[in-house]
Amino acid sequence: MTAPASKSNVLVVGEALVDIVHRADGSIDESPGGSPANVALALGRLGRSPRLLTSIGDDPHGQAVREWLAASDVRVQNQPAARTSTALARLDGEGAATYEFDLAWQIQADGVDLADALHIGSIAATLDPGATAVSDLVDRHRGRALITYDPNIRPSLIDDRDAVRSRVLSLIERVDVVKASDEDIAWLHPGEDLADVARRWSLSGSALVVVTTGSDGCLALAPSFELAIPAVKVDVVDTVGAGDTFMAALIDGLHSEHAFGTDARVKLGTLRAGQMASLLARSVRAAAITVSRPGADPPGRNVLDKTP
């Protein structure tokens, strides 16, 4: 995959913010981030020129976000907020992050141009009032686009567990591809086997379910196959943006297989286990490159496709 095999109109919807990272050595860094924004950035570096529908303020943090995204060919459709959201991330000695958020999130779905591919996820898909607009956009795109979803649960932001769980499961029933971490599943379905949950999600509506399991790689389930893909061993600097890079590389790979637009669901159903294993292995490689770098710094296509 040395160049995008097919072009499409890609829309990513969700939060863009500034990460304030406290590292284990006592240093503090500020950098743009947010799960959907990270996905858009990685897609831009892979040559997909996505749109990001988001809500950021007219302030220095917002300007930093705009410049960061523009440098990777992401077109920002901003619905202004009173301030730009921030996430305080504390990294432990292994590079794993815990988060505290200060958020301003509200968008409207009216007037948003439809796309060939829609990605949603994380806080934006569960936090009102913007989550209602995200749900509306999913319904408007069903049958017209590839719809992908990463729940990326943030427990520290959740006051009503049952309401959020219901919203997440409703989205899973309505999207084509869901990518969740083992931590997401542990929060949504405590004590249950990952593969059993993935099978249930597949039966509920998603054509492809992928579960990332950190250093163990990932699982993938579809009606015609179940796969386990091992992780790539690297020295971990931090885990910020790893799942988002995996998600973007998977979306990019599906686009290269022409799984977008009105035929997305049909095309997903024709992908064989070998094709999907190759796409997932590439996504794992992309995430491995990201965790070997500080911050959410996903690889470009020229780096990813030259990595063995």
DSSP state of 125: G
What integer pLDDT is reported at residue 6 of this predicted model?
58
Grade residue 1 by pLDDT with cuts at 50, 70 and 90: low
Convert the pLDDT of each residue in 94-137 to its tens digit: 777 777 888 888 898 888 999 999 999 999 999 888 999 999 99
> Please, are residues 32 and 69 in contact by the beta-carbon 8 Å criterion?
yes
Contacts of 180 (CB under 8 A, 6+ apart): 150, 151, 188, 209, 210, 211, 212
Q: Is residue 142 part of a domain?
A: yes
Beta 218-222 vs 208-212: how paired, if at all? antiparallel
Q: Please report which confidence band the pLDDT of residue 241 belongs to, taking 50, 70 and 90 as the band edges.
A: confident
Q: Do residues 256 and 1 lie in contact, with contact meaning Cβ atoms separated by under 8 Å?
A: yes
d(CA 109, CA 53): 10
Strand arrangement, sheet containing 117-121: 75-78, 51-54, 10-13, 117-121, 146-150, 177-181, 208-212, 218-222, 225-229
Please state, for a pLDDT cut of 70, what percent of the chain lies above it.
Answer: 97
The CATH number that applies at residue 173 is 3.40.1190.20
Q: Is 303 within a domain?
A: no
Instruction: Give the pLDDT of residue 208.
Output: 97
148-167 pLDDT, tens digit per residue, is: 999 999 998 898 999 999 99
Domain assignment present for 308: no
Q: Of 138, 135, 128, 75, whose CA–CA distance to 105 is shortest?
A: 128
Q: What is the pTM of this model?
A: 0.93
Assigned domain for 4 exists? no
Neighbours of 7 (CB within 10 A): 12
Q: Examine residue 103 and state whether it is found in any structural domain, yes or no.
A: yes
272: in domain: yes
From the list 43, 44, 31, the residue with the least C-alpha distance to 73 is 44
Number of domains in the chain: 1
Q: What pLDDT, on a 0 to 100 scale, did the predictor assign at position 297?
A: 86
Higher pLDDT, 255 or 308: 255
pLDDT of 282 above 70: yes
State the residue range of the domain holding 132.
10-298
The answer as to whether 144 is a domain residue is yes
Report the greatest alpha carbon distance in the chain: 51
